[in-house]
């Protein structure tokens, strides 16, 4: 593969106030980040106490997964009250304090909002069950009569993302739709009450001071008219592309245009701009870009990039497509390697060899952070944490694990609580050594804790700290629209970013052997040991280097 120079130089900076265009955003999964009261469950006071760590790491914003009042059938994504904090995480006062402390430290705060579905314990759904068929309360959800002589069959053949039918029958014979767990009934977004409620919820948290929202299942709110059958084989084929009739319907865009008015209202008169980020699984990156037109949302997660393997041609292709699609709507590209729903990338890239996985993970981090736009980090990746693949069945909590299909219950392994310090579990996750932890940590994590890695120049933690510091300081990194690909051999990616204030080159060797390349400048940071030469420099296998060109 010979790579030809393409694209124009990167733009020099984001428009004034558009902080999200080059932000590095750190995802906190609250139940696994830090336990402030010693009950084995992470909480908001625990997060607040660790905010200085995130400031010193060098991130710009914190994204908090749900901490709302919930029965926890799906780790808080089954919300019973959108304006209350679940007692396991603290109180509304704790949330207010966290937001204030983050702002004092120069960090912005993004919170999850879950508009596709709620909990079956939500006041609205409890009322819908009580008031029965034909009631106004039922119209807020997707209740339907069943098929068959006695209504004993589901209204259509849709399947839950978690496996099994997407319908559950209630005592009076009607069925309700849940694209996820039965404890998560889907809202009917054709009902004005649903629109009014979520406008109110947005304002509630904006008034409390949050800087934005991550919209869960942003592609799922509107279902195809008539709720048509799909066919099992077709549904299985399409679900991986998120192209079924209950996802990515055009009607969602009117909802987000409405929300954009509210977000913009809170950013007027010199106030901090407020944003919304779409979790939108779509068939193509071009479909994702439709959520980011100038009157809609601000960012969308780049799942095509996340799901691309350790392959130079594939990565170059998704980078080019992502930049072209986002530039077409004047939105920043986003880059992400891990989150709370996927196997950690240090394990995904390992091909059975943990050391190789960590080498590739570090190199992938430099590639991601060098690209134009915004980057998302998942808690613990800065420690090089691998996926925990061996968890006893009795401790698992992922609802997909118990349903026997769908996502196969793989998500617990990336949600194991972080190791902070000490020689014994829970490694500083809670306030006392040997205390509880909602998921068990591997003994080997004592060597991966924040305390064990801090100050060690060879550690992954210090590598992340240096990378984020360089990214913040170098004028050619961060926001931008384009890169210039440089000639490189098969298995290698090389590109330049240039502004009037400086030029930068990133080289990544994704092959299994060292590769000698022309030395493009002064090394800024490398994911592995290199010996820069005057003319050529050998890049080790599975490594990346940043250069001041």
Distance (Å, whole) CA 232 – CA 341: 24
Does residue 49 contact residue 28 with C-beta atoms inside 8 Å? no
H or E element that contains 516: strand 515-518
The verdict on whether 387 is a catalytic residue reads no
* Cα dihedral sign, 74-80-81-82: positive
Tell me if 263 sits within 8 A of 276, measured CB to CB: yes
What residue has token string 């009580």? 130
Q: Let me know: does 23 contact 61? Beta carbons within 8 Å.
A: yes
Instruction: Phi first, then psi: give them for residue 354, nearest 5 degrees.
Output: -60, -40
Q: Is the dihedral of CA 9, 15, 16, 17 positive or negative?
A: negative
C-alpha 158/C-alpha 189 separation (Å) is: 18
Q: Which parts of 156-217 are beta strand (E)?
A: 167-169, 175-177, 212-215
Helices (H) and strands (E) in the chain, counts: 15, 20
Q: Is 216 a catalytic residue?
A: yes
Dihedral sign computed on CA atoms, order 185, 391, 63, 473: negative
Tell me the CB-side half-sphere exposure of residue 21, using CA atoms within 13 A: 20
173 contact partners, CB below 8 Å, separation of at least 6: 133, 145, 146, 151
Backbone dihedral region for residue 2 (phi beyond 0: left; psi -120 to 50: alpha; all else: beta): beta
- 150 vs 143: CA distance, rounded Å: 16
Asked if residue 371 lies in contact with residue 335, where contact means CB atoms within 8 angstroms, the answer is yes
36, 43 contact by CB (below 8 A): yes
Q: 334 forms bridges with which residues in the sheet?
A: 374
Backbone conformation region of residue 480, classed left if phi is above 0, alpha if psi is from -120 to 50, else beta: left
HSE, CB side, 13 Å, CA atoms: give it for residue 466. 19
Radius of gyration of the chain (CA): 24
> What's the CA gap between 24 and 63, in Å, rounded?
10
Token readout for 273 is 């701009």
Contacts (Cβ under 8 Å, ≥6 apart) of 307: none
Q: How far apart are CA 252 and CA 221, in angstroms?
A: 6
Annotated catalytic residue within 265, 311, 330, 456: 265
Q: Is 226 exposed, middle or buried (0-12, 13-18, 19+ CB in 10 A)?
A: exposed
3-state secondary structure at position 390: coil
Supply φ then ψ for residue 507, to 5 degrees. Answer: -120, 135
Tokens of residue 105, six digits:
């430290």
Please tell me which residue in 43, 78, 159, 216 is annotated as part of the active site.
Answer: 216
Q: Which residues are catalytic?
A: 216, 265
């Amino acid at each position: 593969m010979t790579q030809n120079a393409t694209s124009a130089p990167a733009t020099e900076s984001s428009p004034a106030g558009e902080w999200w265009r080059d932000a590095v955003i750190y995802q906190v999964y609250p139940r696994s980040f830090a336990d402030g009261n010693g009950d084995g469950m992470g909480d908001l006071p625990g997060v607040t106490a660790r905010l200085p760590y995130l400031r010193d790491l060098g991130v710009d914003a914190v994204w908090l997964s749900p901490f709302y009042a919930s029965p926890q059938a799906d780790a808080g994504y089954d919300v019973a009250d959108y304006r209350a904090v679940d007692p396991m995480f603290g109180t509304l006062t704790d949330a207010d304090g966290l937001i204030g402390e983050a702002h004092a430290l120069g960090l912005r705060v993004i919170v999850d909002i879950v508009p596709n579905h709620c909990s079956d314990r939500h006041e609205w759904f409890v009322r819908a069950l009580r008031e029965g068929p034909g009631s106004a309360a039922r119209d807020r959800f997707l209740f339907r009569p069943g098929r068959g002589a006695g209504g004993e069959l589901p209204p259509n053949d849709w399947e839950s993302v978690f496996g099994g039918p997407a319908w559950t029958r209630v005592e009076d014979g009607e069925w309700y739709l849940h694209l996820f767990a039965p404890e998560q009934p889907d809202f009917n977004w054709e009902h004005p009450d649903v629109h009014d409620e979520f406008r109110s919820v947005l304002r509630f948290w904006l008034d409390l001071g949050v800087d934005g929202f991550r919209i869960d299942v942003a592609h799922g709110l509107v279902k195809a008219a008539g709720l048509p059958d799909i066919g099992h084989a077709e549904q299985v084929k399409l679900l991986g592309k998120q192209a079924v009739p209950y996802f990515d319907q055009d009607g969602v865009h009117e909802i987000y245009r409405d929300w954009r008015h509210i977000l913009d209202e809170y950013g007027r008169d010199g106030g901090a701009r407020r944003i919304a980020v779409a979790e939108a699984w779509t068939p193509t990156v071009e479909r994702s870009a439709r959520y980011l037109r100038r009157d809609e949302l601000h960012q969308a997660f780049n799942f095509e990039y996340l799901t691309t393997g350790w392959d130079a041609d594939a990565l170059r292709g998704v980078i080019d497509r992502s930049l072209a699609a986002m530039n077409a709507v004047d939105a920043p590209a986003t880059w992400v390697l891990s989150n709370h729903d996927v196997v950690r990338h240090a394990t995904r890239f390992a091909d059975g060899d943990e050391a190789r996985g960590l080498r590739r993970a570090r190199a992938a981090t430099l590639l991601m952070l060098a690209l134009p736009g915004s980057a998302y980090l998942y808690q613990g990746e800065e420690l090089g944490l691998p996926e925990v693949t061996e968890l006893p069945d009795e401790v698992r909590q992922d609802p997909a694990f118990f349903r026997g299909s769908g996502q196969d219950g793989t998500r617990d392994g990336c949600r194991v609580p972080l190791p902070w310090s000490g020689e014994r579990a829970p490694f500083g996750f809670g306030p006392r050594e040997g205390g509880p932890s909602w998921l068990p940590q591997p003994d080997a994590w004592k060597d991966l804790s924040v305390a064990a890695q801090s100050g060690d120049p060879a550690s992954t933690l210090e590598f992340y700290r240096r990378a984020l510091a360089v990214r913040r300081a170098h004028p050619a990194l961060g926001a931008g629209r384009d890169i210039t690909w440089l000639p490189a051999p098969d298995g290698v990616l090389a590109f330049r970013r240039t502004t009037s204030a400086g030029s930068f080159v990133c080289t990544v060797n994704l092959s299994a052997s060292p590769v000698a390349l022309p030395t493009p400048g002064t090394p800024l940071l490398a994911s592995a040991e290199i010996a820069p030469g005057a003319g050529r420099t050998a890049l080790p296998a599975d490594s990346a280097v940043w250069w001041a060109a």
